């Protein structure tokens, strides 16, 4: 971070660079985009109140703070869920949304979310930080407040539960896959067309399907510039993008904390070769109407 900047400028720069990552991190632990945005907001609020010039690794500092906030929230929710003598409310039926229309890995995604919910707070945080975001166990131990060896065991147990819940071919995203996905999310969040073009393969093509009645024909774009321009037309500035559960191949797009699109990435090497998007026009229009 540039030490010559003022405190407010440093916070603004950190917000632009790290907020998309932080929301995604929190979403992987909490499974709720609204809660994830609240955690990121609180983490940056605490960041703005610190002696910023003394923080050497801003991203690492924010990761620790956000992870602790998530850990507290998961523990609190678990206590409420397991408290004896209380009647547990049944969750309200989910309305039809774009994720319901995605075949192939939709059932897998649902199963992984259920496994995530059943993990202990320590297992969940250790697994998400290490296996999904590559945080070293030394840092995880500081966050969780347990010895490094214990954190390794927590992640190992969580990993075994995820492996048992998914097909052999559906592995946790590689570090390279995660890096490409993070760059894509950050570029979309900032309306950074140059950054978005940089993660797209020269031969990239994208196809977008709108769920509407009557349904328009799929929109197809070829080449980095055309694909990037069309994406930002729909995803910036008021959309939050997060990875699917456990770094899965699908990205979930929320507007006004409502899911309105699912984007499946095909990554070849260090670039995105294909994008397949399914969007719910009613959810997008409904949120726009609420803002007016």
CATH number at residue 212: 3.10.450.50
What's the confidence (pLDDT) of residue 133?
Answer: 78
Helix, strand or coil for residue 271? Answer: strand
- On whether residue 24 sits in a domain, the answer given is yes
Residue 202: domain span? 175-290
Domain shared by 72 and 188, yes or no? no
Q: Regarding predicted confidence, which is higher, 96 or 62?
A: 62
Average the pLDDT over 216-229 and give the result.
95
Check pLDDT > 90 for residue 178. no
Domain shared by 78 and 181, yes or no? no
Domain boundary among 130, 164, 198: 164
Asked whether 31 and 91 are in contact (CB, 8 A), the reply is no
Domain count for the chain: 2
- On whether residue 183 sits in a domain, the answer given is yes
Length of the chain: 292
Average the pLDDT over 80-97 and give the result.
43
The region, left, alpha or beta by phi > 0 then psi within -120 to 50, assigned to residue 38 is alpha
Domain shared by 148 and 211, yes or no? no
What's the confidence (pLDDT) of residue 3?
Answer: 58
- On whether residue 60 sits in a domain, the answer given is yes
Domain shared by 18 and 150, yes or no? yes
* Beta-bridge mates of residue 274: 205, 266
Check pLDDT > 60 for residue 240. yes
Check pLDDT > 80 for residue 97. no
Average the pLDDT over 16-35 and give the result.
93
To the nearest whole percent, how much of the chain has pLDDT over 70? 76
- On whether residue 96 sits in a domain, the answer given is no
* Closest among 234, 241, 237, 181 to 208, alpha carbons compared: 234
- On whether residue 202 sits in a domain, the answer given is yes
Domain shared by 146 and 194, yes or no? no
Query: In whole numbers, what is the pLDDT of the chain averaged over residues?
Result: 80
Domain shared by 278 and 216, yes or no? yes
What's the confidence (pLDDT) of residue 17?
Answer: 96
- On whether residue 169 sits in a domain, the answer given is no
Check pLDDT > 90 for residue 286. no
Give the pLDDT band of residue 166 (cuts 50, 70, 90): low
Q: Which two tokens stand for residue 3?
A: 């030490």
Degrees, nearest 5: CA angle 238-242-244:
145
Asked whether 96 and 259 are in contact (CB, 8 A), the reply is no
Domain shared by 241 and 157, yes or no? no
Give the pLDDT band of residue 232 (cuts 50, 70, 90): very high
Q: In this structure, how many other beta carbons lie within 10 angstroms of the beta carbon of residue 73?
A: 18
Give the pLDDT band of residue 106 (cuts 50, 70, 90): very low
Q: How buried is 186 (Cβ within 10 angstroms: 0-12 exposed, 13-18 middle, 19+ buried)?
A: buried
Domain boundary among 164, 199, 230: 164
What's the confidence (pLDDT) of residue 66?
Answer: 94
Average the pLDDT over 70-96 and give the result.
57
Average the pLDDT over 197-211 and give the result.
93
Domain shared by 221 and 154, yes or no? no
- For tokens 């983490």, the residue is 43
DSSP 103-136: -SSHHHHHHHHHHHHHS-HHHHHHHIIIIIT---
Domain shared by 262 and 236, yes or no? yes
Domain shared by 265 and 191, yes or no? yes
Domain shared by 201 and 255, yes or no? yes
* Beta-bridge mates of residue 128: none
Domain shared by 148 and 265, yes or no? no
Strand ranges (DSSP E) for the chain?
200-211, 219-222, 240-244, 248-255, 258-268, 271-280
Q: Regarding predicted confidence, which is higher, 216 or 85?
A: 216
Give the pLDDT band of residue 108 (cuts 50, 70, 90): very low
- On whether residue 101 sits in a domain, the answer given is no
């Amino acid at each position: 971070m540039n030490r010559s900047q003022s405190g407010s400028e440093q916070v603004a720069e950190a917000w632009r660079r790290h907020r998309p990552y932080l929301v995604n991190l929190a979403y992987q632990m909490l499974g709720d985009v609204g809660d994830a945005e609240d955690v990121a907001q609180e983490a940056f609020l605490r960041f703005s109140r610190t002696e910023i010039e003394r923080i050497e690794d801003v991203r690492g500092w924010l990761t620790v703070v956000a992870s602790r906030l998530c850990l507290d929230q998961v523990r609190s929710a678990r206590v409420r869920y397991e408290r004896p003598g209380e009647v547990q409310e049944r969750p309200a039926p989910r309305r039809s949304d774009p994720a319901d229309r995605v075949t192939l890995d939709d059932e897998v995604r649902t199963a992984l979310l259920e496994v995530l919910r059943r993990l202990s707070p320590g297992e969940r945080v250790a697994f998400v930080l290490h296996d999904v975001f590559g945080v070293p166990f030394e840092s995880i131990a500081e966050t969780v407040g347990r010895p490094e060896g214990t954190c390794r065991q927590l992640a190992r147990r969580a990993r075994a539960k995820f492996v048992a819940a998914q097909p052999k071919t559906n592995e946790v995203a590689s570090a390279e896959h995660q890096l490409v996905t993070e760059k894509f999310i950050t570029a979309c969040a900032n309306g950074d067309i140059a950054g978005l073009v940089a993660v797209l393969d020269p031969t990239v093509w994208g196809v977008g399907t709108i769920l509407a009645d009557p349904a328009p024909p799929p929109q197809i774009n070829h080449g980095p510039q055309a694909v990037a321009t069309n994406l930002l037309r729909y995803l910036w500035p008021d959309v939050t993008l997060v990875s699917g559960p456990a770094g899965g191949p699908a990205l979930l797009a929320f507007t006004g904390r409502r899911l309105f699109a699912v984007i499946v990435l095909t990554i070849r090497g260090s670039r995105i070769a294909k994008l397949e998007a399914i969007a719910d026009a009613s959810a997008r229009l409904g949120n726009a109407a609420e803002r007016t």
